[in-house]
Chain A
């Protein structure tokens, strides 16, 4: 069995600031780490590797430094990695990202299970997994809360909707995105960290893939971010409650009565 886990690299903290002059996101000095939710997908894959001997590959699209997250995943125990890196891929929205990932998966070929995290913590869309599933014409199980092999070529998963629990059975190949409650990701062991430097990391550029250029990067992205800003809570006019606690409390009760709240 072959499993490919798609991972994204994200800033290590969400405390990004807006540059007051350019009004752009100021990501200077923020180190990149593997998207925390993707570690749950890696862990699921490694679990299946432990029990069924599956082969686990990692796949990421991004600048060259995304290789660090691939190394991190290989240090957790994945066997190999693919990095899709090209200027032509930059500025992609979820549709253009999903397209390149799907084309790379076609080239890798015969993955039985393609795993995704529930969402990337920076843009927070959770859209890339279903888009890839559609482009590959594969069934999908999103937000899986549990997953097990239920046959040689079959998985059974549970999905928690807002107030319903669904059980789904999929014949492989299939695309699955996982909830973070699914498992606790393992830490890299010193031995695996060492081994990770010997594992193959393949870098594919634009010309290595079969791509329609009109579907790439910023120009292949239907969505446009027109403005970024820090959220300003809507300020209200504050009426202070003053005096002793008892006086303040009676002012509040009077106000609540005026508003017919009590």
Chain B
């Protein structure tokens, strides 16, 4: 008996693979164990070789469909192609990134297949052949577990940066297959331009100095910039600080901002609201500085200092010099 297939739908972002795809491959391998076969579905143009960006992550198979219309295909055209593949191969589960693209194509495919789709999962596990997805709701105030007990495939979109991509040994078998492209002529993608964003973001930094409402002064920001430079990292902020001209939503950590997985995060003057914590609690080492000994941030911290953020920052910088 061949193993049931667990699919990851590869997403393209201009000429590259969107990083959530690689994160999902690592997670899928982990979920699959010896019971499932991990298959990445890649729709690309005839001259593309985006599979080269996927093989290092070690799925069992990369199934490629080539058509020059895919790079500018609309959601409905993608969903149509995927439906044909599902009806040929009958996967047990399908994972999409909960990116704008994934969240747009997956529900259309779900409607075609008349199956269930769990949105924006933060956790996944198999119980036998039932996929259990952990999903936040009510603005991350509530978590719930959702299953699709009776219908197949079990579909899930997974929040970007929830899992960490890891290269893996093993050689992925690259195969090609075909579908019939059914063009939808009432909708055209007439342009796609990269939004210029060259600055490294807090999401990429391996060391983060995080500032909250208790560390919002200009002096604090200035000192935090120096500390971040010394650590080779970046500043991140809690939501209230995005009101300052100096910070934008791109700098925000948390549910409605970035989910980050740095080696180190030092939090100054941040209380530790759940919406903040969900964005950073997977950091390897967490340090918290807060004047309130009962601040919830201390519950998730490895190292904590109770006291004034500015005073501690000054002492810390002095010893770095």
Contact = CB atoms under 8 A, between A and B. Distances in A.
Interface of A: 11, 14-16, 18, 25, 93-95, 98, 121-131, 133-135, 138-143, 156, 159-171, 174, 221-231, 233-241, 244-246, 248-253, 255-256, 259, 261-262
Nearest to A229: B143
Contact of B319 (A129, A163, A246): A246
B76 interface: yes
Contacts of B140: 231
Interface stretch (B47-55, B56-64, B172-180, B302-310): B302-310
B33 to A, nearest CB: 22
Interface stretch (B87-95, B104-112, B163-171): B104-112
A223 B115 CA distance: 8
Interface residues of B, number: 89
A256 B264 contact: yes
Contacts of A156: 190
B278 to A, nearest CB: 7
B100 A131 contact: no
B67 interface: no
Interface string B294-321: 0010111111111110011011101110
The A contact surface, by secondary structure, is mixed
Interface stretch (B38-46, B148-156, B212-220): B148-156
Contacts of A170: 186-188
Interface string B225-262: 00000010000000000000000000000000000000
B132 to A, nearest CB: 7
Contacts of A126: 103, 107, 119
A133 B109 CA distance: 11
B116 A245 contact: no
A233 B116 contact: no
Contacts of A143: 100, 104
Given A131-B111, A164-B195, A231 B119 contact: no
A168 B190 contact: yes
Interface stretch (B1-9, B23-31, B279-287): B279-287
16 contacts: A94-B119, A95-B116, A126-B107, A131-B110, A138-B186, A140-B74, A143-B100, A163-B194, A164-B13, A164-B194, A227-B145, A246-B319, A248-B305, A249-B315, A256-B264, A261-B207
